[in-house]
Amino acid sequence: MKHIARKRFGQHFLTDRAIIEAIVEAIAPQPGDAMVEIGPGLAALTQPLVERLGRLTVIELDRDLAARLRGHGQLDVIESDVLKVDFTALSHATAGAPSAGRRLRVVGNLPYNISTPILFHLLDHVGVVQDQHFMLQKEVIDRMVARPATSDYSRLSVMLQWRYTMDNVLFVPPESFDPPPRVDSAIVRMVPLAEPPAIDLKLYGDLVQTAFSQRRKILRNTLGKWLEARNFAGQFDLQRRAEEVPVAEYVALAQAVQ
């Protein structure tokens, strides 16, 4: 029976064989990699991946699709909302398995309606991640990789760039899906930094959210009050807008406030 895409799950199924091959090529799966696919759907990407890997863990919320996937002998199916999955525990899940305790390679065509919460959820588990390859709305990836003093530079840029190097590796047009989304898509590669700066992630998140809460205003009006409340006595140029401050300066400020 044909599966009908469900709007509430943000389902758009990849059907373009050339695009699928290009994505697999970009991911470059190797036998024995501890790989997890988010939202495998109708297994368009799943099948070529598992053929190269030997075994693959998939996370699928749709009950009907999860049932189909369980019939595949090389898949370990987690039927769950991805935001509830403990990726740190998952990396150590199967004692004695070749992939147990190894860093995860996470891939997937992320539901566009919750892509940012998924990225932030994975940030909490970045210590067990080797790399991430995601299909996302192109404009989201533009924000992820944006440089300071550009219109795309945002809270998302600053929250991710302190911890990952990121590249937009492939453009994916709407006609590559069934049903076609109303937006352009792309593939992003995210590789955790080997030696990230030491910061309090919650404090950093609060700082960045405050800075970008009114991005058209000078930081003195937003971040200045936040720093005052914490009795910050150091130096930081508040006569700028949030989008003008490089990631390294936000990181240094978070470390100084600590």
Annotated binding-site residue numbers for S-adenosyl-L-methionine: 12, 14, 39, 60, 81, 109
The set of residues, in sequence order, having a beta carbon less than 8 Å from that of 215 and lying 6+ positions away, is 154, 241, 242, 243
Say if residue 5 is exposed, middle or buried (CB neighbours under 10 Å; 0-12, 13-18, 19+): middle
Residues at the binding site are 12, 14, 39, 60, 81, 109
Locate 48 and state its tokens: 């070529």
**From CA 35, how far away is CA 102, in angstroms rounded?**
10
The residue among 24, 25, 19, 21 whose CA lies nearest residue 37 is 24
> From residue 115, how far is each of 98, 108, 112, 141, 231 by CA, in Å?
30, 11, 5, 10, 36
Q: Return left, alpha or beta for 212; rule: phi > 0 is left, psi -120 to 50 is alpha, else beta.
A: alpha
The residue among 43, 34, 92, 100 whose CA lies nearest residue 70 is 43
